[in-house]
Amino acid sequence: MLSKDTKNYHVWSYRQWLVRHFSLWDVSEIPYINSLLDLDVRNNSAWNHRWFVLFGRHVDPKSGRGMDEVGNIAHEDLIDREVAFTKGKIGLAPQNQSPWNYLRGLLRKRGSLLECKSFAQEFVGDLEGGGSGEGEGCRSSHALDFLADCWVEEQEKEKAGKALELLAKRFDPIRRNYWNWRREMLGLEAVEPGPLEA
């Protein structure tokens, strides 16, 4: 069925049940997911299943709570491999939200997004310095969102606010209310709609 529709929610849900029920965590799922992502790096269902296969066994299915993984060297090696894999896929399609979300999840398992801050900056360009500061050279709104979170983590409220403003005004105005809410969480004023949005 997945060969006909690689994004069928019901089939993926059933596949996850099969993996959990028959403990098929390492058999052939990752090579299969890799093949699907090679065909379509934007397949959010494959990214979700990858997370489930690699990290779902560490979640109690009844409570939804994670089991203790801290200090597990193999776990750290897995995250290192997954970060490298994900960065490669982001390079193929920087405007694809799925691998950016996957990368966030990996880094949050470690407790900080900052190790990939310079990676995200490669897709955003210079937001301050020599250019107009209006996001010239930005190739990924998701990288800009990622950087906003990095700057919040570093307590660089003004930089985060500028990134969220660019998202609201230029790169993702359809979600302006969301970006404004994020700005308000930082104690910053909302961004007014531009002349074409009013």
Of all residues in the chain, the percent with pLDDT exceeding 90 is 61
Whole-structure pTM value: 0.85
Mean pLDDT of 153-177: 95
pLDDT band (50, 70, 90) for residue 71: very low
| 150 pLDDT above the threshold of 50 | yes
| 95 pLDDT above the threshold of 50 | yes
| 64 pLDDT above the threshold of 50 | yes
Q: Given this model, what pLDDT does residue 70 score?
A: 43
Mean pLDDT of 96-108: 96
Q: How far apart are CA 169 and CA 189, in angstroms?
A: 13
Q: How far apart are CA 131 and CA 135, in angstroms?
A: 8
Helix or strand or coil: residue 55?
helix
Q: How far apart are CA 16 and CA 140, in angstroms?
A: 31
Q: How far apart are CA 36 and CA 7, in angstroms?
A: 10
DSSP 28: S
Q: How far apart are CA 146 and CA 101, in angstroms?
A: 9
Tokens of 39: 């065909």
